[in-house]
Amino acid sequence: MAERDRASFWVSRLREHAIAVREEWISGLLSELQASDSGTGVAAAMSDAKVFNALFTAFLFCDLNAAGAATLPPNFKVGLSSYLAAFRG
């Protein structure tokens, strides 16, 4: 799988869990995983669950200004009437 396709795959997987990150950030992390492999083939053989855990752990400790992608939930709809109704109670 090409690096860009792999990064896109993981961005979509993380979004399924309401984690919105930039594709460039994911691509950098995946490159770091491969670089840390040092020829042993471990990173290439990592299961999806282990890759997800590595990405999620990195997300927990990251600077959201660098990694985060501003987004609202897909079903988020706001209108002035709903905004005002929240304050009127």
63 is in which domain, residue-wise?
A: 3-88
Determine the pLDDT at residue 74: 63
pLDDT (0 to 100) of residue 63: 83
Total number of domains constituting the chain? 1
pLDDT in tens, 5-58: 888 999 999 988 888 889 999 999 988 888 876 666 555 667 888 889 989 999
**Average pLDDT taken over every residue of the chain:** 78
pLDDT confidence of residue 9: 92
The per-residue DSSP string of 12-80 comes to HHHHTTT--B-HHHHHHHHHHHHHHHTTSSTTTT--HHHHHHHHHHHHHHS-HHHHB-----TT----H
Q: Is the pTM of this model over 0.85?
A: no
Residue 79 has pLDDT above 80, yes or no: no
